[in-house]
Each structure stands twice: as structure tokens, then as C-alpha cells.
Amino acid sequence: MKSPLLIGLLLAALASPALADAQKRLESFVSHTKTLKARFHQTVTDRNKRKTQESSGTLFFQRPGKFRWVYEKPYSQVLVGDGKKLWIHDEDLDQVTVRKLDQAIGESPAALLAGDNDIDKRFHLKDIPDKDGLEWIEATPKGKEGSFERVRLGFKGDDLHAMELVDNFGQTTVLRFSGFERNPSLGASLFRFTPPKGADIIGDR
């Protein structure tokens, strides 16, 4: 779930029709999705394809830069982006980690989804073959910092149904979305976070 991504220079020289199609699909999703609510199911596999983690929960976002990502099973964790900071609350540890949001964009799928409209300035985009009944786009970063090599986004029409994130250690995180609600009315309180009394706070408050 951590994320800026690595670079592939394959399409840097040519503005191919596939790249244009990928940009159009992603631009359509970004421009028509100001808020979103969905359920997610997440699995993580290692480089040997062994499942190491499985979790589920609910996500909300409001562009730009505001999101709430709630892990419900098997453990409880909340990530909140309030537009300026990213708050990560691990309830089991009673610990809150705080980071500047501009440094954390791309560090979680929620941050990537809820970012500004300049995703094509941060990533190289290309179409890749259809899979599982979805049309896929691959995004590789223009910068070299961060822990992810690439992100793939699976669409059905203009709706995002899946994300696959591959990190520098060969781990793959797959997110499947359901109960997708585009542009619901979301209360401002979803995107505010107050650390619980007594919680350990780590980072730049």
C-alpha cells in the first residue's frame, strides 16, 4: 500500500494511439469523478506468488487530496488525507503517523486516486492487454523515488474496478472495488482526523 512508482522509457519517444487512449480513459475518470465511495478487497502476494496478506474495507475520496481509507478486516487501520496531511491510525498499536500529504501522494492507492488532475505529468501511461473482462492502463513514474515500480488500473467503461501495484521488492498488491458510488455527497467530517487521546503520534504534526 505504499507508493510513488518507477520509470519505463518505452513510450517516451512516440505519442502512440495507445498512449492517447490511455490518457483519455484516465482523464475521463478523473474529470467525471469528484467524489467516490466504494468497498475494496485487497490481497498482497510476494515475488513467488504466495499470498501474504488479505484485507477489506471502505474508501471515500474527494478530489483534490482528501480521502478516507478504512481497513476493517483482519485488523483496524484508518488513513485520512485532509488536503494537507496524511494521518495513519493503527488502532491495535494506538499509534498515529503523520506525514505531509504532498510528500505522500502515491504512497497509498487512495492518495493516487484522490490526487490532482496532473496524473499524466507524474506518470507515463500506456494501454496493456485486456484481462478479467477489464481494460487496463499501466502507469510508470517519471520520478525515481518511491517504493512502487508500476500501477495498473482496470476499467469497465469509465468505472475503475481494480488496481494492481507492484513494488520494488517484487510484491504485488491487488485491489478489487465493489459497491462503487460515483459523486456521492460526502460529509466534511470524513476528511478530518483528530488523534485519540493518549495515542502515540509519530511524524510532522
Using an 8 Å Cβ cutoff, are 148 and 166 in contact? yes
Residue with cell 485519540: 196
Number of domains in the chain: 1
At residue 171, does pLDDT exceed 80? yes
Exposed (0-12), middle (13-18) or buried (19+): which is 169, by Cβ within 10 Å? Answer: exposed
In this predicted structure, the answer to whether residue 1 has a pLDDT above a threshold of 60 is no
Q: Is residue 6 part of a domain?
A: no
Q: Is residue 121 part of a domain?
A: yes
Angle, CA 153 vertex, CA 37 and CA 7 arms, to 5°: 130
- Residues 139 and 39: their CA atoms lie apart, in Å, by 23
Whole-angstrom CA distances from 46 to 79, 165, 171, 172 are 23, 12, 4, 6
Query: Using H for helix, E for strand and C for coil, what is the string for 57-90?
Result: EEEEEECCCEEEEEEEECCCEEEEEECCEEEEEE
| pLDDT confidence tier of residue 120, bands split at 50, 70 and 90 | low
pTM above 0.75, yes or no: yes
Answer yes or no: are the C-beta atoms of 19 and 125 closer than 8 Å. yes
> Mean pLDDT in the chain?
80
- Is it the case that residue 117 has pLDDT exceeding 80? no
- Asked if residue 139 is part of any domain, the answer here is yes
**What is the structure's pLDDT at 70?**
94
Distance, in Å, from the CA atom of 85 to the CA atom of 20, rounded to the nearest integer, reads 33
Q: How confident is the model at residue 63 (pLDDT cuts 50, 70, 90)?
A: confident
Q: Could you tell me if residue 10 is inside a domain? A: no
Any domain includes 71: yes
What amino acid occupies position 5?
L
> Is 117 inside a domain boundary?
yes
- pLDDT score, position 13: 21
Structural domain includes residue 137: yes
Using the predicted structure, report yes or no on whether residue 88 has a pLDDT greater than 80. Answer: yes
The CATH code of the domain that includes 112 is: 2.50.20.10
Three-class HEC string of 135-188:
EEEEEEECCCCCCEEEEEEEEECCEEEEEEEEECCCCEEEEEEEEEEECCCCCH
In the structure grid, which three cell numbers stand for residue 177, read together? 472495488
Does residue 177 surpass a pLDDT of 80? yes
Question: What range defines the domain where residue 84 resides?
Answer: 17-203
Q: How far is CA 13 from the centre of its chain?
A: 28
Check pLDDT > 90 for residue 201.
yes
Q: What is the mean pLDDT of residues 113-124?
A: 68
User: Does 82 reside within a domain?
Assistant: yes
